[in-house]
Amino acid sequence: MENKTVIVTGGTQGIGKAISNKLLEENYFVVIADITDTDEKLVKNTLFVKCDISKEEEIQNLYSMIISKRKKIDAVVNNAGIIRDNVIWKMPKEDMDKVIDINLKGTWMMCKEAAKIMKEQKYGRIVNISSRAWLGNNAGQSNYTASKAGIVGLTRVLALELGKYNVNVNAIAPGLIDTPLTQNLSENVLKDLINAQPTKKMGKPIDIANAVSFLLSEKSDFITGQIIHIDGGKSIGSTIF
């Protein structure tokens, strides 16, 4: 193969888009799997596949299609996720179901199909995008926190299961990142969040993309089962196992 094949879920905007662009710069063949269509003209070495990761059949079709075209899958970046915030007594069950179905079950199903292929290849890299929210410090995010904490546990178990097959599994937990989501916050709320950062600034999507690039590279060959916080130091003092 001319270049390695990587799947990036939720790769059309925000952090996912930055990850896709970074990996393209590094000569990966990037398969962007997203439920949202993209109007952008796709560049060479890019394939867009519309995929709802809450549906197992769509994920299986995604992997089958890539294998038929590329013969192997070197890496998967599970970035797709949604937020439906509210205090628990006001949160509809549907919002809990939707967040768990996409953020956690979707990531689990993506990892399951990747594991089948990478185990046989005797090589692979999986990076799951969790969130600093997994620490449980954000009121109003019981569903989101549960999903992202689940990703942390999932990552560590898969690292144990797949390590002997030369498959590394790690997670990144972003903090306050400048994305369309944070741009919708009020000026006062955003100011308070930035002031709570030890670095007194927001992160950028490229900060996450750079870490993903490292974890997919051979430079990270002896790193697996780790949860890397990229949050401007906000998690300092929190309990991290």
Sheet containing strand 167-174, edge to edge, reads 46-50, 29-34, 5-9, 75-78, 124-129, 167-174, 227-230
Say if CB 110 and CB 76 are below 8 A apart: yes
How far apart, in whole angstroms, are the C-alpha atoms of residue 155 and residue 170?
6
Total number of residues shown for the chain: 241
Say if CB 168 and CB 223 are below 8 A apart: yes
Q: Is 123 a residue of the active site? A: no
How far apart, in whole angstroms, are the C-alpha atoms of residue 82 and residue 95?
10
Tell me which residue of 206, 217, 228, 169 sits closest to 28, measured CA to CA: 217
Exactly one of 28, 63, 123, 144 is catalytic; which is it? 144
Instruction: Please identify every residue annotated as catalytic.
Output: 144
